[in-house]
Amino acid sequence: MLTKSSFLYFLTLLLFKQRDKHIGTISISIVIIFLLSSILFISSSIQGSIKIALESQPDFSLSRVEAGRVVDTPVEWIDKISDIDGIVDISPRVYGRYFYRPKEESFLVVGVDFFDEQNQKELKNLIDGIDLKDFFSRDSMLVGEGVKEFLAEHFYSGDFSFKTPTGKFKKVRIYDTIPHQSNLISNDMVVMPIDLAREIFGMSEDLSTDITFNVPNDSEWDTILTKLHLLFYDLRVVEKREIAKAYSSLYNYKGGLFLILYLITIVTFMLILYQRYSMVYSSEKREIGILRATGWSIGEIVKLKFYETLIVVVVSFVLGTVLAYIYVFVWGAPLLKEIFLGGANLKNQVEFAPTINMGLLSSIFLFYAVPLFGSILIPVWRIAITSPKEAML
């Protein structure tokens, strides 16, 4: 068809013969689409990771507050909480940041009851690959990727000794790492049996850091909260949906900053293109004038330039998104990852899971294609409607 249709033949001929003109546009377009795609791929992947990481988390966590300060929560509260209808899977948790003083780094130690039904659900991904008999044969822990790397750098490859409040050291075996997909949250986390965590933090058996529970009926959440506040005056409740919002806001904020930078870049680029096609690029104007003078109508000129731009847009879009895919999902987005995930205590080992959908690709295409078409076709149309005599000057 391409060889038969003279219009398509002429179109490809113009693209090839005027490739120098298009290479500049395509190159800049690829860079812009690459940046936009990378930002959106990272944002989308982070949102996906947050969703996965929070899926297994309990709906609520509750802790005691004294004079506005969060303190250890009595385990006996569990009995009172379980009296409230609608609450299920109640479980105590022990956690806290453990500071490794020589390097002034810290990681989050989380103690859980591995045999508790609720915890088994939450830790399904972790427990699945574990030989529990072997795990409990010695004091053992599971560590996030960041913790593992940090400890290895300091020659703790098989085990690590925690300093307890009594000044003694507690040696704990590094049993395994926490799976990659939850790295966004678990990167600097250490998971161990609850009694071991209590020993490390010097907590008695009747205390926990907080108590977690689920409320399967979403519409009951506010009622349950009211009942809890009536039951305990010294209470602080954190909802899972609040945590999800906090994480989303954090990464949306960073993505938003990049989108503003993208908008500034694209507006500048489009203005340059608009200027170029409006008047500065006189050979383009002359070419339109010549075609008009030899019998091309305004519609035919716009059609030619539309297809020319479409090819430029499609080539740039495909190359830009493919490069962004490789950069984000194969190479792990060096530089951009540090900007998005920077500020974490330990170097984050997050691997972005590919989460591309048609909506995302369409958004990228529209974000780029519409302004590009506008910035080229509007001046082309304006030249085409002027007298061919003037355009040829």
Partner 1 sequence: MIEIDNLNKVYNDGTPQAFNALKSINLSIDDGEAIILNGVSGSGKSTLLSIIAALDKPTSGKVVVDGELISKLPDLHASAYRAKSIGFIFQHFNLIESLSVEENIYAPIVHIGLDIERIRDMAKRVMVEASIEHKADQSIRDLSGGEKQRCAIARALVRDPKLIICDEPTANLDRANSMKFIDILSRLHSRGKSIIVATHDPLFKSLPFPSRVIEMEDGVIVEG
Closest CA relative to residue 224, chosen from 367, 55, 86: 86
User: Minimum Å distance from CB 10 to partner 1?
Assistant: 4
Among 294, 334, 335, 358, binds partner 1 (CB under 8 A): 294
At residue 119, what is the residue type? N
Task: Give whichever of 4 and 101 is closer to partner 1, judged by the CB atom.
Answer: 4
Q: Which residue in 291, 328, 346, 383 binds partner 1 (CB under 8 A)?
A: 291
The 10 Å Cβ neighbour count of residue 341 is: 22
* Residues 301-320 close enough to bind partner 1 by CB under 8 A: 304
> Long-range contacts for 17-23 (Cβ within 8 Å, ≥24 apart)?
21/284, 22/308, 22/312
Please, what is the minimum distance in Å from the beta carbon of residue 290 to partner 1? 5
Q: Does 23 bind partner 1 (CB under 8 A)?
A: no
Decide: is 282 part of the binding site for partner 1 (CB under 8 A): no
Q: Which stretch binds partner 1 (CB under 8 A): 97-105, 140-148, 280-288, 348-356?
A: 280-288
The sign of the CA dihedral 190, 245, 51, 40 is negative
Q: Are 12 and 1 in contact (CB under 8 A)?
A: no
Instruction: Kindly tell me which of 18 and 56 has the beta carbon lying closer to partner 1.
Output: 18
Q: Considering only residues 136-165, where is the footprint of partner 1 by CB under 8 A?
A: none
Q: How far apart are CA 145 and CA 178, in angstroms?
A: 7
Of the pair 232, 281, the CB lying nearest partner 1 is at 281
Instruction: Decide if residue 283 touches partner 1 (CB under 8 A).
Output: yes
- Supply angle C-alpha 384, 390, 393, rounded to 5: 115
Q: Is residue 299 involved in binding partner 1 (CB under 8 A)? A: yes
Burial readout 125-152 (b: 16 or more C-beta within 10 A, e: otherwise): ebbeebeeeebeeebbbbbbbbbbebbe
Residue 3-22 contact track with partner 1, rule CB under 8 A, x = bound: xxxxx-xx--xx--xx----
Euclidean distance between CA atoms 393 and 390, whole angstroms:
5
For residue 263, state whether it binds partner 1 (rule: CB under 8 A).
no
Nearer CB in complex with partner 1: 192/312: 312
Q: In DSSP terms, which residues pair with 95 in a beta bridge? A: 110
Which residue among 290, 314, 326, 370 contacts partner 1 (CB under 8 A)? 290
78 in contact with partner 1 (CB under 8 A): no
Q: Which is nearer to partner 1, 10 or 169 (CB)?
A: 10
Residues in the chain: 393
- Does residue number 271 form part of the binding site for partner 1 (CB under 8 A)? no
Cβ(52)–Cβ(183) below 8 Å: no
Task: Name the minimum Å distance from CB 269 to partner 1.
Answer: 24
From 255, 289, 320, 371, residue interacting with partner 1 (rule: CB under 8 A): 289
Using rule CB under 8 A, residue 298 touches partner 1: yes
Q: Does 292 bind partner 1 (CB under 8 A)?
A: yes
Question: What are the φ and ψ backbone dihedral angles of 123, each rounded to 5 degrees?
Answer: -100, 20
Q: How far is the CB of 277 from partner 1 (least distance, A)?
A: 16
**Closest CB to partner 1 among residues 100, 381:** 381
Q: Does 293 bind partner 1 (CB under 8 A)?
A: yes
What is the spatial distance between Cα 208 and Cα 95, in angstroms, rounded to a whole number? 8
Q: Please name the helix (run of DSSP H) or strand (run of DSSP E) that holds residue 208, with its range, or none.
A: strand 207-208
| Interatomic CA distance for residues 226 and 26, integer angstroms | 59
d(CA 64, CA 71): 6
Q: Which region among 1-9, 133-141, 343-351, 363-371 touches partner 1 (by CB under 8 A)?
A: 1-9
Amino acid occupying residue 13? L
Which neighbouring-strand residues pair with 385?
none
- Give contact residues for partner 1 (rule: CB under 8 A): 3-7, 9-10, 13-14, 17-18, 283, 286-287, 289-300, 304, 385, 387-389, 392
